[in-house]
Amino acid sequence: MVKGSQSFVFESQPVIISSATVGGPLEAEGPLSGDIDILHEDPYIGQDSFEKAEKLMLEEAAMKALEKAGVNRDEVGVFISGDLINQIISSSFAARTIGIPYLGIYGACSSSMEGLIIAASLVDGQKVRYVLTGASSHNNSAERQYRYPNEYGAQKPPTSQWTVTGAGVCLLASEGQGPKVTAATIGRIVDMGITDPFNMGAAMAPAAVDTIETHFKDLGRGPDYYDLIVTGDLGAVGHKIALDKFKEKGININENIFKDCGMMIYDREKQPQVFAGASGCASSAVTIYGHLLNEMRKGNIKRLLAVATGALHSPLSYQQKESIPGIAHAVAIEM
Amino acid sequence: MVKGSQSFVFESQPVIISSATVGGPLEAEGPLSGDIDILHEDPYIGQDSFEKAEKLMLEEAAMKALEKAGVNRDEVGVFISGDLINQIISSSFAARTIGIPYLGIYGACSSSMEGLIIAASLVDGQKVRYVLTGASSHNNSAERQYRYPNEYGAQKPPTSQWTVTGAGVCLLASEGQGPKVTAATIGRIVDMGITDPFNMGAAMAPAAVDTIETHFKDLGRGPDYYDLIVTGDLGAVGHKIALDKFKEKGININENIFKDCGMMIYDREKQPQVFAGASGCASSAVTIYGHLLNEMRKGNIKRLLAVATGALHSPLSYQQKESIPGIAHAVAIEM
């Protein structure tokens, strides 16, 4: 409510009563596979297109989250979801299957935390008792839409990132057991004039730093408030830029507590095809709603600041010589 | 909060303290032009692409709404917007210019009311004092993305609709003078198996009926509660289908109080190129945030149910032989 503030607290502390994640073949070989509920060897998952496979993963994650919590679909007031495919058809067609009232969002790879902020606002405001929110991406559907048909085998620079094949969903409730959503910071667009779509980490890093700095300022907190501050998909290049920017600004963030989902979900030595790391809506959705919430449930993390990062460009804006607008939304999750 | 309910009331009744609209050349010739704040003769608005022209209209509407209310940008907590262009670049690039923390949404032509629901939830929950929310579309940017390059001069069937060139934005506040947002119903996806993208009114009409019926049931109201119930862009074909469906269901809605923005913004006799009427995010955004809110301010409408309708398909889902999922979100606005 403070003028100029981008942050607010959720007084009622909505609870993430369950979460579920789905992954593809490369995610199954990665270091976080033990925290992914459903793993698929076939990137088509038996469907006749990658887009339909992506939609199916989102449906699976949603149904699994409901199953874990023992909540029926008809008890859930809203399903909030976003993805990278034009007109977010993965989300909208999954919403058709799931049958829950639906709000579609688009924040590129920041969609996971954008959805959680809206979900927590609806639960906190006593609008609905349960909200399901998630995000998905698929390496093959993203590659052919944003870059080249996979069959071209085009070369990529080392700054490029690998879109995660997967989906992550969480079920938020007004009461129950689990990690609580306590505060949020809605990000502003930060555009440093970067135009290279093969270096999205660099385009998003300044937005992540801006949102984290704003979060600290608005809520009167420092980095030491959190056990872990995690960005969505900066990758190795963007992560280093973010660390350098914090140093420039005199914000002392220990590297041990500042990590990036894009550097956690794959083993870059054993999986060199991912280059600078992971990207895509599922990078943060799978890592946060899978591994990191599990770590919170085990007591290994008490206070998490989850900062999903998005590059809000399109192939058309690139062709029209626009730079890449970056955004980051932060959510404080506490056990 | 009731199980199975899709509706909720906003206890604090957030106020629309200002709104502003922008239109293109065809909108300037239409019957609602007197309620459009900024009219452009040139569909490029001096920009080098239709997409950049669309973005500019959204910026103009946002700045005009702020100017009317005498509110500075830095006082506004969130800008919420959606549009039809892939990766909603009109909204995201406008958000870059406007500089307000941003949540991008995608509900196709239901985006206007989706945005208003999220905005009202944030204001009602005392998360922010001011929220700016809007939507845009541009006939030429939509035509070339969804259908054919304009230069092809392809024939269209009489069921087809004309995407509105325009933008509409409103500024919501926790207190002030103006129409109040009192309740909302979040729509479920209703898909009747229609696959013809030149007949979107028919694809969306069942969703509109479902949401309106649910709204009445959830809140214990009948059609007589409202002076006007207006859908977003069903056009003449969809409007007739909706009326027939209400009759089938035994819901007695007088034709005088059930209208469609898509049939109001153009004069179909004098502007026959619009065929069945208007469509696009701006159909509801310009009509509701311009003409209808003005009618409320004049005292001619006291209770409005604004029901924005969306067709959540894409060119790719059409190619993959999917039908068109329809959705509709309803917002009760009272003076």
Nearest CA in chain A to B214: A101
- A149 and A192 in contact (C-beta within 8 Å)? no
Torsion sign across C-alpha atoms B274, B275, B278, B279: negative
Neighbours of A9 (CB within 10 A): 15
Residue A149 has pLDDT above 90, yes or no: no
Q: What is the mean pLDDT of residues B111-135?
A: 97
Tokens of A2: 């403070």
Q: What's the fold here for domain B180-334? A: Peroxisomal Thiolase; Chain A, domain 1 (3.40.47)
B128 vs B156 pLDDT, higher one? B128
pLDDT in tens, B243-272: 999 999 999 999 999 999 999 999 999 999
| Distance linking the first and last C-alpha atoms of chain B | 25
Chain center to CA of B198: 19
**Where are any strands of DSSP class E within B242-325?**
258-260, 278-279, 303-311
- Please state which architecture CATH assigns to domain A15-173: 3-Layer(aba) Sandwich (3.40)
- B105 and B81 in contact (C-beta within 8 Å)? yes
Name the phi and psi angles at B92, rounded to 5.
-70, -40
- B303 and B227 in contact (C-beta within 8 Å)? yes
Which one of A87, A190, A195, A329 makes the best mutation probe of the B interface by having the most chain B beta carbons within 10 Å? A87
Q: Do A102 and B320 touch (CB under 8 A)?
A: no
Position B316 confidence tier, pLDDT thresholds 50, 70, 90? very high
User: 3-class SS at A54?
Assistant: helix
Residue B35 has pLDDT above 90, yes or no: yes
| DSSP summary character for residue A288 | I
- A100 and A78 in contact (C-beta within 8 Å)? yes
Distance CA A69, CA A258 (A): 31
Q: How far is B150 from chain A (nearest CA, A)?
A: 17
Percent of chain B with pLDDT over 90: 94
Spell B187-218 as b/e; 16+ CB within 10 A means b: bbbbbeebeebebbbbbbbbbbbbbbebbbeb
Q: What is the mean pLDDT of residues A300-327?
A: 96
Q: How far is CA A278 from CA A107, A144, A166, in A?
A: 17, 17, 11
| Facing A325 at nearest CB: one of B92, B129, B314 | B92
Residues within 8 A of B (CB atoms), A 265-294 only: none
Q: Taking Cα atoms as reference points, which of B297, B268, B244, B309 lies closest to residue B26?
A: B268
Neighbours of A58 (CB within 10 A): 32
Distance CA A150, CA A146 (A): 11
**Least confident piece of the model among A134-143, B20-29, B152-161:** B152-161
Q: What is the mean pLDDT of residues B228-256?
A: 97
pLDDT in tens, B42-95: 999 999 999 999 999 999 999 999 999 999 999 999 999 999 999 999 999 999
Name the phi and psi angles at A12, rounded to 5.
-85, -5
Question: What is the residue type of A64?
Answer: K
Nearest CA in chain A to B6: A77
Beta bridge partners of A105: B105
Residue showing tokens 């935390």: A113
Residue B1 has pLDDT above 60, yes or no: no
Distance CA B137, CA B216 (A): 30
| Facing B51 at nearest CB: one of A88, A186, A316 | A316
Tokens of A246: 């914090």
Residue A1 has pLDDT above 60, yes or no: no
pLDDT in tens, A107-134: 999 999 999 999 999 999 999 999 999 9
pLDDT in tens, A253-278: 999 999 999 999 999 999 999 999 99
Torsion sign across C-alpha atoms B257, B262, B265, B267: negative
A314 touches chain B (CB under 8 A): yes
Tokens of B166: 């325009």
Position A3 confidence tier, pLDDT thresholds 50, 70, 90? low
Tokens of B74: 């830095």
- A25 and A267 in contact (C-beta within 8 Å)? no
Which one of A52, A127, A214 makes the best mutation probe of the B interface by having the most chain B beta carbons within 10 Å? A127
Spell B116-134 as b/e; 16+ CB within 10 A means b: bbbbbbbbbbebbbbbbbb
Neighbours of A53 (CB within 10 A): 23
Q: Do A101 and B52 touch (CB under 8 A)?
A: no
Tokens of B167: 């933008």
No. of helices (H) and no. of strands (E), chain B: 10, 14
Write out the H or E segment, with its range, that includes residue B166: strand B166-173
Position A23 confidence tier, pLDDT thresholds 50, 70, 90? very high
Position B154 confidence tier, pLDDT thresholds 50, 70, 90? confident
The whole-model pTM stands at 0.98
**Least confident piece of the model among A63-67, B105-109, B196-200:** B196-200
Same fold, A15-173 and A180-334: yes
pLDDT in tens, A205-225: 999 999 999 999 999 999 999
Q: How far is CA A40 from CA A53, A54, B36, B43, in A?
A: 10, 11, 52, 48
Those residues with Cβ within 8 angstroms of residue B27's Cβ, 6 or more apart along the chain or in another chain: B33, B36, B39, B164, B165, B166, B265, B266, B286
Residues within 8 A of B (CB atoms), A 104-163 only: 104-108, 114, 117-118, 121-122, 124-129
Q: What's the fold here for domain B14-173? A: Peroxisomal Thiolase; Chain A, domain 1 (3.40.47)
Rg (CA), chain B: 18
Neighbours of B278 (CB within 10 A): 35
What pLDDT score does B147 carry?
Answer: 79
Distance CA B92, CA B130 (A): 19
B99 touches chain A (CB under 8 A): yes
Position B155 confidence tier, pLDDT thresholds 50, 70, 90? confident
What pLDDT score does A160 carry?
Answer: 93
Q: Taking Cα atoms as reference points, which of B82, B120, B112, B138 lies closest to residue B334?
A: B120
Distance CA B323, CA A141 (A): 20
> Contacts for A145-148 with beta carbons within 8 Å, 24 or more apart?
A145/A84, A145/A85, A145/A86, A145/A315, A146/A84, A146/A197, A146/A315, A147/A197
Q: How far is CA A317 from CA A161, A314, B135, in A?
A: 20, 5, 19
Domain locations in chain B? Answer: 14-173, 180-334
Cα angle, residue A148 at apex, residues B318 and A286 outer, rounded to 5°: 75
User: 3-class SS at A122?
Assistant: helix
Beta bridge partners of B103: B80
Neighbours of B12 (CB within 10 A): 17
Q: Kindly report the average pLDDT of chain A as a whole number.
A: 96
Distance CA A143, CA B275 (A): 38
What pLDDT score does A326 carry?
Answer: 97
Q: Enumerate the residues of chain B whose CB falls inside 8 A of the CB of residue A52.
A: 320
Residues within 8 A of B (CB atoms), A 178-197 only: 186-189, 191
Residue B152 has pLDDT above 80, yes or no: no
Q: Do A122 and B121 touch (CB under 8 A)?
A: yes
